[in-house]
């Protein structure tokens, strides 16, 4: 008797694995589909900010997917589509922030900390050796 | 020796300050890259006269406020009273962009809440709103006499943010024109 309940439970779980961005798949060639999904996975939904456009069910995300779909059909390159979206929503829409003076600390910060930590380690070790 | 003892304390305080400032950030307010850019090209049928359109050509020669609204947006209803108040001032044109809505519903809504807009464009698919970088309703843009976007406010207009944020910009634009 427990088995059907278990199966039902598993079915419930699979629903969370479904993504929202399948509505255009039938209209695009395989190559364009790949591009469409690659693009929407790189872009942030501006309403539910921790989801990609690919995952989000928000109305705005659906509209943005429609925009990307149309632009792919118009023959725009990935670069052009990205440029269009950042010209409207800023770098914020990109999950991979570009390297510029505002993101300098973001990109270099971890390496800076690593250098600091290593130099402290050397400092500490040489001091420990001296006291021996 | 003393400094060494103080170090963890200083570190602790600076982390607290950092986190405290983080709490004050507004991640929902995304800065618009359209600032100081010309109004995007668009064409939308008018709500009350679909044969005519609201387009980027209608943003020249006067200060314009473009308000993005929808009947399904409850904050827009709260904002409407204040929009009616400011629309009485003749310092600017107030346009509406009806966002992802049903035109019949929109007319009913305006009959109920009042219509402060000079012109209303209907964007049923929301594709023009994307050109404006809209990500939520209500949003209000200030556009100067040359059709350049000068300010964007996300959320409802209130007498408070009107006095402190938007009105000073409108006054400045008026001064610049003189």
Q: Are residues A76 and A128 in the same domain?
A: no
CB atoms A46 and B33 under 8 Å:
no
Average pLDDT across chain A, whole number: 86
pLDDT score for A11: 66
Answer yes or no: is B26 within a domain: no
User: Of chain A residues 33-52, which have a CB less than 8 A from chain B?
Assistant: 46-47, 49
Residue A25 has pLDDT above 80, yes or no: no
Beta partners for residue B43, in sequence order: B55
Split into its structural domains, chain B has a count of 1
Q: Are A90 and B33 an interchain contact pair (Cβ–Cβ within 8 Å)?
A: yes
pLDDT, position A22: 57
**Same domain assignment for residues A70 and A117:** no
The pLDDT of residue A87 is 94
CATH number for position B60: 3.40.30.10
Nearest-by-CA chain B residue for A92: B30
Q: Kindly determine whether residue A67 and residue B127, on different chains, have CB atoms separated by under 8 Å.
A: yes
The 8-class DSSP code of residue B74 comes to: H
pLDDT at B5: 86
Structure confidence by residue, pLDDT tens digits, A82-104: 999 999 999 989 999 889 888 89
Nearest to A90 among B27, B31, B126 (CB): B31
Structural domain including A57 reads 2-98
Contact state of B135 with A90 under an 8 Å Cβ cutoff: no
- A92 in the same domain as A31: yes
| H-run or E-run covering A6 | helix A2-15
Q: What's the structural domain count of chain A? A: 2
pLDDT at residue A17 is higher than 50: no
Which chain A residue's Cα is nearest to B133? Answer: A88
Decide if pLDDT at A53 tops 50.
yes
Same domain as A77, residue A34: yes
Find which of B11, B26, B30, B124 to mutate to test the A interface (most A CBs within 10 Å of its CB): B30
A109 shares a domain with A92: no
Q: Do the Cβ atoms of A51 and A42 come closer than 8 Å?
A: no
- How far apart (Å, rounded) are the C-alpha atoms in residues A97 and A106? 9
Give, for all 178 residues of chain B, the pLDDT tens digit: 577 889 999 999 999 999 999 998 887 778 889 999 999 999 999 999 999 999 999 999 999 999 999 999 999 999 999 999 999 987 899 999 999 999 999 999 999 999 999 999 999 999 999 999 999 889 999 999 999 999 999 999 999 999 999 999 999 999 988 7
What separation in angstroms does the CA of A108 have from each of A93, B127, B165?
21, 38, 35
Residue A3, pLDDT score: 76
B130 CB neighbours in chain A (<8 A) are: 63-64, 67, 88
Residue B13 lies in a domain: no
CB-closest option in B31, B126, B131 to A88: B131
Output the pTM of the full model: 0.81
Shortest Cα–Cα distance, A17 to chain B (Å): 26
- Which residue, among A94, A79, A99, has the nearest Cα to A46 in the 3D structure? A94
Domain of B91 in residue numbering reads as: 34-177
Q: Which residue has the higher pLDDT, A72 or A21?
A: A72
């Amino acid at each position: 008797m427990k088995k059907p309940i278990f199966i039902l439970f598993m079915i419930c779980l699979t629903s969370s694995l479904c993504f929202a961005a399948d509505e255009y798949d039938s209209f695009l060639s395989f190559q364009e589909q790949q591009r469409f999904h690659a693009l929407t996975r790189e872009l942030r939904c501006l309403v539910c900010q921790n989801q990609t456009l690919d995952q989000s069910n928000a109305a705005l995300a659906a509209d943005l997917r429609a925009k990307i779909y149309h632009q792919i059909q118009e023959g725009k390159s990935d670069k052009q589509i990205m440029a269009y979206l950042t010209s409207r929503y800023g770098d914020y829409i990109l999950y991979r922030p570009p390297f510029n003076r505002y993101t300098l600390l973001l990109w270099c910060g971890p390496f800076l900390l690593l250098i600091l930590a290593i130099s402290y380690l050397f400092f500490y070790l040489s001091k420990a050796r001296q006291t021996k | 020796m003393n400094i060494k003892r103080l170090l963890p304390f200083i570190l602790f305080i600076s982390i607290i300050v950092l986190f405290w400032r983080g709490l004050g950030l507004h991640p929902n307010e995304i800065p618009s890259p359209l600032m100081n850019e010309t109004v995007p090209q668009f064409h939308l049928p008018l709500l009350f006269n679909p044969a005519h359109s609201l387009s980027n050509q209608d943003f020249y020669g006067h200060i314009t406020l473009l308000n993005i609204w929808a009947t399904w947006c409850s904050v827009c209803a709260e904002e409407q009273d204040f929009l009616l108040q400011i629309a009485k001032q003749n310092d600017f044109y107030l346009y509406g962009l009806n966002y992802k809505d049903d035109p019949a519903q929109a007319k009913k809504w305006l009959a109920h809440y009042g219509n402060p807009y000079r012109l209303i464009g209907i964007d049923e698919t929301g594709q023009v709103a994307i050109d404006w970088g809209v990500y939520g309703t209500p949003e209000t843009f200030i556009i100067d006499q040359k059709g350049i976007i000068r300010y964007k406010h996300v959320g409802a207009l209130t007498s408070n943010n009107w006095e402190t944020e938007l009105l000073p910009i409108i006054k400045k634009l008026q001064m610049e024109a003189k």
